[in-house]
Amino acid sequence: MNFDDTPEEAAFRAEARKWVEANAPKEYEAELSRSSLGRIRLEKAEIVDVGKAWQKKKAEAGWACLHWPKEYGGRGASPIEKVIWQQEEGIYGKLTQPFQIGEGMCGPTVMAYGSEEHKRRYLPKLASGEEIWCQLFSEPAGGSDVAGLRTRAEKQGDNWIINGQKIWTSGAHYSDYGLLITRTDPNVPKHKGLTMFFLDMKSKGVEVRPIKQANSMQEFNEVYFTDVVIPDSQRLGAVGDGWNVSLTTLMNERMSIGARLATGFPEMFEFCSNLMTEDGLAIDDPAVRSKLASWAVKTSGLKYTSYRAISSLSKGERPGPENSIGKLVAGTMLQDIATYAMDLEGAAGALTGASEEVASGQFQQMLLTSPSMRIAGGTDEILRNIIAERVLGLPGDIRVDKDVPFNKIPTKGR
Amino acid sequence: MNFDFSDEQKQMRDEARKFLSEQCPPKAVRTVLDGKAAYDRDLWRGLAEMGFLGVAIPEQFGGAGAGHLELCVIAEEMGRALAPVPFSSTVYLAAEALMLAGSDAQKQKWLPKIAAGEAIGTLALFEGKGNPSPKAIKLTAAGAALNGTKKPVPDGAIADFAVVAARTGSTGRDADISLFLVDLKGSGVEVKELTNLDPTRGQAELTFTNAKAEPLGATGEGWGIITQVLDRAAVLLAFEQVGGADRALEMGRDYALDRIAFGRPIGSFQAVKHILADMYVSATLARSNCYYGAWALSTNAAELPEAAAAARISATQAFQHCAKNNIQVHGGMGFTWEFDCHMYYRRANATALGLGSVSYWEDALIDRMRKKNAAA
């Protein structure tokens, strides 16, 4: 048992470190180090612009989407090499946020189902950040129940005509292409009538509207489709096989090993170490210590769980299911930590601006943002179902809509 | 990175599991639980023959000289099987104290006997209520004679010898405490068995009246040694706890698959699934913390105090969580003596206290993290 690289891994790490050291945009180092949660904001530049420049530089040197085959813009790196790269890229990895959905979800789906021509045309530009992709799955009527989606695609000659609405689309406003799942047959049970496409986000009839969120920020969008035309050549997988295609996409979403999950613990430990109360430092209070300790062991537990997964990758094995716990643990912890930090601030905890009474408003922002961590990318409840069914082998829930044609499923509870 | 046990260590775990599933079925645990034996002597002998008792004891002292990673995988299996033997007191506490502080003669006298299953040892630390603290130690040592009372002492009623923490000074500092080795079969030792939450691991009160003792380690260094022993035992016991937590999770899962209510397996209800998913989460976090503890223990790393506290807290919480929710998933049947659920519930809650309670270790963890931050 050790934490050491193999000689090959060490050589790869040294090469990556040297390149990052020589090429990273150091002018953003301080800002990137500070931002620990949610979307990154830069004072004097747009994250997308800075990100594109960084991604392009990486691509030219072979560090973008490095686990992809060379002909599609990668360098054919192994999974462990990808993890090592992420570690070495460090805080500059935050700049790749606009490309993560493309790299993690859209790209792998095009790679699995696209034609050779498509792969050569789209993947290298996706990898280099020249073109940004978004994922158009969720709908107002289909969140956790994605297969309940209602956006229609109707065949007309060699084209498909799209009408409907998507929601919670990150980055739709700056994306060039989108991965779109639609209903092509409402007369069969819901999972069987779906078909996957990709489309140019600048197509006529696509309208992107930002959503104002509960935390008063705007990061997600609604996307409306009105008679949008997609050529049949942009279909991914067979007509009616969209559900299986989407599983490829979602599986890739959950396979991200070594992902940086914010728990709020380092910020909280520092806060309690410095907060002076009437009875002394907060961290000397046994009640505070007890809470901190419970969060500390969850944070270290997550860290070493990812180390176990990385070790499997290093041995060329497939990691076990342990990593499925990450977001479930981190989301709730973030919310609990924010609530408790504000409790320690007392009445002033309700203030959201930076002042001497509150810790620069970071926990207040954490509080307002944390509900989304427990919903996006699979709600806590869906994640528990996945652990129960796929890891522990418990039977699936009884599904009353499973064998019912989609257009016969009730749409209102009362 | 190779943050995992080696193939040989995993093979040893499989051997231990196979051995224990044959030699330590729930029926054997119940023999001790029902008071028909103080511990399972046949199992104890078998563990010695398998080389498990001396796995971390150097060869020159009669052990296998393998190491602490090997001991960790065996500990996990002992916890999983609820082995009703004085393993934790003898191997994690007494043997570790001897290896850390014993003279060659003391090691030569006791370690081979431990490895052979011929001597049971323990640590006599507590004196009534409270967590480990030098201030709580009142038992005195005058010359080589001990006077005072220790309780609870794990496996004290069946132990052949004890490492005893005694007061040898009155400055109010840690240096007031020294350790002694006492042959419990000698004169001046009165042993009283105590009833406790988990009868499969006994507890006793030991009263010393001018009992003959020999120093273990230098005078005034007792508390330092105890702290180290507790850290090492915390990691090892955490593996037992993780083994127990995993087994409780499996029992709950299996029952949820078998039991039909409202016309379907109860494991198909989300209310039940989510209980089991949360058990899996806590057991997984604990296992990962334990692996880090195992690494720190086996390399004697500077991180051991922090790693041990994290493993101890995480594994204690996980075992308690899994044991209580295993009963919940079983419903009424889980509350019967006949079902095994309560044996895990008892063990989980008794082991949560034995080395100091969770709040004690939480306090220690934060202290240790602050020290590390201050040094950084």
Residue by residue, DSSP assigns A210-267 as E---TTS---EEEEEEEEEEEEGGGEES-TT-HHHHHHHHHHHHHT-TT-----SHHH
Task: Please say whether the beta carbons of A120 and A111 come within 8 A.
Answer: no
All structural domains of chain A with their residue ranges: 7-131, 134-254, 265-391
Q: What is the pLDDT of residue A256?
A: 59
Q: What is the pLDDT along chain B (376 residues), one digit of tens a residue?
A: 899 999 999 999 999 999 999 999 999 999 999 999 999 999 999 999 999 999 999 999 999 999 999 999 999 999 999 999 999 999 999 999 999 999 999 999 999 999 999 999 999 999 999 999 999 999 999 888 999 999 999 999 999 999 999 999 999 999 999 999 999 999 999 999 999 999 999 999 999 999 999 999 999 999 999 999 999 999 999 999 999 999 999 999 999 999 999 999 999 999 999 999 999 999 999 999 999 999 999 999 999 999 999 999 999 999 999 999 999 999 999 999 999 999 999 999 999 999 999 999 999 999 999 988 888 7
Residue A397 touches chain B, beta carbons under 8 Å: yes
CATH number of the A134-254 domain: 2.40.110.10
For domain A7-131, give the fold.
Butyryl-Coa Dehydrogenase, subunit A; domain 1 (1.10.540)
pLDDT 10s digits, A385-411:
999 999 999 999 888 888 899 999 988
Nearest chain A CA: its distance from B154 CA (Å): 26
Give the pLDDT mean for A63-78.
Answer: 94
pLDDT at A310: 86
Give which of A413, A412, A414, A407 is closest to A193, Cα–Cα.
Answer: A407
Q: How far is Cα B30 from Cα A181, in angstroms, rounded to an integer?
A: 58
Active site amino acids of A: 253
Question: What pLDDT score does A30 carry?
Answer: 87
The reported pLDDT for the residue numbered B96 is 98
The more confident residue out of B349 and A250 is: B349
Q: Which residues of B184-201 are buried (b: 16+ CB within 10 A; e: fewer)?
A: beeeebeeeeeebebbbb
Q: Name the residue among A269, A314, A388 with its Cβ closest to that of B276.
A: A388
CA–CA distance, A297 with B366 (Å, rounded to integer): 11
Query: In the prediction, which pLDDT does A255 show?
Result: 53
Q: How far apart are the first and last CA of chain A?
A: 58
Look at B4 and A1 and tell me if their CB atoms are within 8 Å.
Answer: yes
pLDDT tens, A114-162?
999 999 999 999 999 999 999 999 999 888 899 999 999 999 999 999 9
* Chain B residues within an 8 Å CB radius of A303: 288
As a whole number of angstroms, the distance between CA B243 and CA B236 comes to: 11
CB-nearest to A314 from B1, B370, B373 is B1
Among B273, B286, B359, the residue with its CB nearest the CB of A384 is B273
Read off the pLDDT of residues A7-28 as tens digits, 9 standing for 90 and up. 999 999 999 999 999 999 999 9
Q: Which chain B residues are Cβ-neighbours of A2 within 8 angstroms?
A: 1-3, 295
Can you give the pLDDT at residue A110? 96
Q: Among all residues of chain A, which has the CA nearest to that of B264?
A: A398
- A35 — pLDDT class (breaks 50, 70, 90): low
Domains plus CATH for chain B?
7-88 (1.10.540.10), 122-220 (2.40.110.10), 224-375 (1.20.140.10)
SS3 per residue for chain B: CECCCCHHHHHHHHHHHHHHHHHCCHHHHHHHHCCCCCCCHHHHHHHHHCCCCCCCCCHHHCCCCCCHHHHHHHHHHHHHHCCCCCHHHHHHHHHHHHHHHCCHHHHHHHHHHHHCCCCCEEEECCECCCCCCHHHCCCEEECCEEEEEEEEEECCCCCCEEEEEEECCCCCCHHHEEEEEEECCCCCEEEEEECCCCCCCCEEEEEEEEEECEEECCCCCHHHHHHHHHHHHHHHHHHHHHHHHHHHHHHHHHHHHHCEECCEEHHHCHHHHHHHHHHHHHHHHHHHHHHHHHHHHHHCCCCHHHHHHHHHHHHHHHHHHHHHHHHHHHHHHHHCCCCCHHHHHHHHHHHHHHCCCHHHHHHHHHHHHHHHHHHC
Amino acid symbol at B218:
A
Query: Which of A49, A14, A42, A7 minimizes the C-alpha distance to A28?
Result: A42
Nearest CA in chain A to B267: A394
Cβ contact A3–B363 (<8 Å): no
- pLDDT at site A142: 84
CATH architecture, range A265-391: Up-down Bundle (1.20)
What is residue A411's predicted lDDT score, i.e. its pLDDT?
A: 85
Q: Do residue A385 and residue B278 have CB atoms under 8 angstroms apart?
A: no
Instruction: Grade residue A258 by pLDDT with cuts at 50, 70 and 90.
Output: low
Q: Tell if the CB–CB gap between A394 and B317 is shorter than 8 Å.
A: no
Contact call for residues A152 and A372 (beta carbons, < 8 A): no
Please tell me the least confidently modeled range out of A209-218, A357-366, B134-143.
A357-366
ipTM computed for the complex: 0.96
With a cut of 90, say whether residue A354 has pLDDT above it.
no
Secondary structure of residue B17 in the 3-state scheme: helix
Q: How far is A1 from chain B (nearest CA, A)?
A: 5
The C-alpha atoms of residue A193 and residue A183 are separated, in whole angstroms, by: 6
CA R_g for chain A = 23
Of A251 and B269, the one with more pLDDT:
B269
